[in-house]
Amino acid sequence: GECSAFKERFMECLRHSGYESAACRQSAKAYLECRMDRRVTQLMANEPLEKLGFKDLINEKSEEKPEKS
């Protein structure tokens, strides 16, 4: 149950989007990160998010940061 809040947000997103998983990629990414972060409890092996298909979301996050002058 450590990641149940993340799972529920993902499932809620799916319900609201008519089960269009592409619309819920941010929620899916957060859920998988939760599972990997809790490796102590052996929920999921740690994998690079790029390998799991989230490379574009990682790049977007770094592009959103303001540039230092």
CA distance 69 to 67: 6
Average pLDDT over residues 38-46: 65
- The full set of domain ranges for the chain reads 3-60
Judged against a pLDDT cut of 80, whether residue 41 lies above it is answered with no
Structural contact between residues 5 and 13, judged by C-beta atoms closer than 8 angstroms: no
SS (H, E, C) the chain: CCCHHHHHHHHHHHHHCCCCHHHHHHHHHHHHHHHHHCHHHCCCCCCCCCCCCCHHHHHHHHHHCCCCC
6-35: pLDDT as tens digits: 999 999 999 999 999 899 999 999 998 888
Residues 19 and 56: their CA atoms lie apart, in Å, by 21
pLDDT at 62: 43
